[in-house]
Amino acid sequence: YSNQGDPSCDLPLPKGSMGLPFVGETLAFATQGADFSRIRHELYGDVYKTHILGRPTVRVRGAANVRKILHGENTLVTTVWPHSIREVLGIQNLAMNSGDEHRFRKRIVMKAFNHDAMEEYLESTQTVIRDTVARWCGQRQPVLVYPATREMTFQSATASLVGVRSGGEEAQRVTELFQNMVDNLFSLPIKIPFGGLAKALQYRQSIDEWLEGHIKIKQQDIDNGDVGTDALSRMMLAAHDVGHHLSSQEIQDTAVELLFAGHETTSSAATSLIMHLALQPQVVQKVQEELEKHGLLQPDQPLSLEQVGRLTYVGQVVKEVLRLSPPIGGGFRRALKTFELDGFQIPEGWTVTYSIRDTHKSTDTVSSPERFDPDRWAADSDGGRRGRHDYIPFGGGPRACVGKEFAKLTMKLLCVELVRACRWELADGKVPAMTTIPVPRPVNGLPVRFTPCE
């Protein structure tokens, strides 16, 4: 046993229940949603043990504990993914790799998300959002916001990441392929004929064929010294510049990973933004005042990155949406060796999950954590002075989200375009019931009535 003699092996295991033989607490985990973890943290503290999805598991919340997990990547823990996800998303990407391989790939991918890239993506993102908001405002019937934002974020992602013109036939076709792939992946991911996994793999194959065409053209452009401005071209050039030739499979796996990681998360966040603001007219009023102050209230006005950056209140609204309704509830890791955490023993081989949602909602982090209050992030308020790991919607450490600036930009643009163009209210008039699988969203899809301003 590799950890013999290690003092952490003498520590007690975290408190908690391993549930029934074989199934553990998987059923409760699958049915209780966010309550599963909340209840157990209340009972057992910041670190508890359970048995879910066939594995002994430790769930962790709180800045210091989360920090140890996030920065213990490659030494204490490593990433784990279910087999079905690996099969559909592929393995030549960021999430499925670790150590030096992961570091190398990440350096290349990050080139597609630097400041220069954001300047470039802003225009196409703003166009997609503005057109979408105009459509919503022109509709007499309530709009089902979750599916509508799902389509919007995917169209803006394919425009910025692959360079596909939004709103066209190609964008429409790929949106459908991708959504079918994801829906099947989350339905019944076992490989039986006509089962979810088999269908998801078929859709993945069609997406690969579509990507291959784009990759060939981008490669020719790079060879001719005429590089595109989309994320894939930027990545391919970054690899070329360090003398590494990315294979077609590597580019396809990375493209699918970026679309997958960015799509459901951003649409969950966009839906939450619309929901929270529908319930908080005073926040909409303050956004309007900020836009007025900066002379940006006019619909159709293009925005620069610098102008968006100056909208501090809009930034606080987005930050608060991601605190109260984080699209990813937490991350999964596997313990590489037995180690100490918060005075407990975390045994080698156990699954370790760090909780974003419960860390954000812990009262040690913020006062009245259930209240939506963008003012808590004002420079002179306590939110702005909290530690870095109290607020972790995008994770942290070596596996921090690569698309976080793009996601925040999308949310800020959505907030601005909505407040400029319309007012909106929940069609049902009441706070909807939520589900958290695969991402937090209202069960009813959030029907919303939009009314144009004047």
86 binds ligand HEM (CB under 6 A): no
- In the bound state with ligand HEM, the residue whose beta carbon lies nearer, of 334 and 337, is 334
278 binds ligand HEM (CB under 6 A): no
Contact 435, 329 (CB under 8 A): no
Q: H or E element: which one contains 422?
A: strand 422-426
**Terminal-residue alpha carbon distance, the chain:** 72
Angle at 243 between CA 242 and CA 244, to 5 degrees: 95
320 binds ligand HEM (CB under 6 A): no
264 binds ligand HEM (CB under 6 A): no
Site for ligand HEM in 370-399 (CB under 6 A): 393-395, 399
Backbone angles phi, psi at 47, to 5 degrees: -125, 120
Q: Least Å distance between CB 31 and ligand HEM?
A: 23
- In the bound state with ligand HEM, the residue whose beta carbon lies nearer, of 106 and 423, is 106
Q: CA-CA distance, 204 to 40, in Å (whole number)?
A: 38
Number of shown-chain residues binding ligand HEM (CB under 6 A): 22
- In the bound state with ligand HEM, the residue whose beta carbon lies nearer, of 40 and 319, is 319
- Which residue in 95, 129, 133, 246 binds ligand HEM (CB under 6 A)? 95
Stretch that binds ligand HEM, among 170-178, 207-215, 294-302, 323-331 (CB under 6 A): 323-331
Structure tokens of 254? 């990375």
- Which residue in 401, 409, 415, 422 binds ligand HEM (CB under 6 A)? 401
257 binds ligand HEM (CB under 6 A): yes
The residue with tokens 């925040």 is 408
63 binds ligand HEM (CB under 6 A): no
- Could you tell me which of 416, 423, 400, 152 has the C-alpha nearest to residue 266? 152
Stretch that binds ligand HEM, among 20-28, 198-206, 261-269, 378-386 (CB under 6 A): 261-269
The full length of the chain comes to 454
Stretch that binds ligand HEM, among 23-31, 264-272, 345-353, 361-369 (CB under 6 A): 264-272
- In the bound state with ligand HEM, the residue whose beta carbon lies nearer, of 160 and 199, is 160
Count of other CB atoms within 10 angstroms of residue 446: 25
Structure tokens of 187? 């339905």
77 binds ligand HEM (CB under 6 A): no
14 binds ligand HEM (CB under 6 A): no
Q: Least Å distance between CB 73 and ligand HEM?
A: 9
- HEC letters along 161-182: HHCCCCCCHHHHHHHHHHHHHH
Angle at 164 between CA 163 and CA 166, to 5 degrees: 120
Structure letter (DSSP) for residue 433: P
- In the bound state with ligand HEM, the residue whose beta carbon lies nearer, of 125 and 199, is 125
Give every CB contact of residue 266 below 8 A, 6+ residues apart in sequence.
149, 153, 157, 327, 407, 410, 411
407 binds ligand HEM (CB under 6 A): yes
Q: H or E element: which one contains 333?
A: strand 330-335
Stretch that binds ligand HEM, among 1-9, 243-251, 401-409, 424-432 (CB under 6 A): 401-409
434: left (phi over 0), alpha (psi -120 to 50) or beta: beta
Q: Least Å distance between CB 34 and ligand HEM?
A: 15
- Could you tell me which of 174, 178, 162 has the C-alpha nearest to residue 89? 178
Q: Least Å distance between CB 258 and ligand HEM?
A: 4
Interacting residues toward ligand HEM by CB under 6 A: 94-95, 106, 257-258, 261-262, 265-266, 269, 327-328, 331, 393-395, 399, 401-403, 406-407
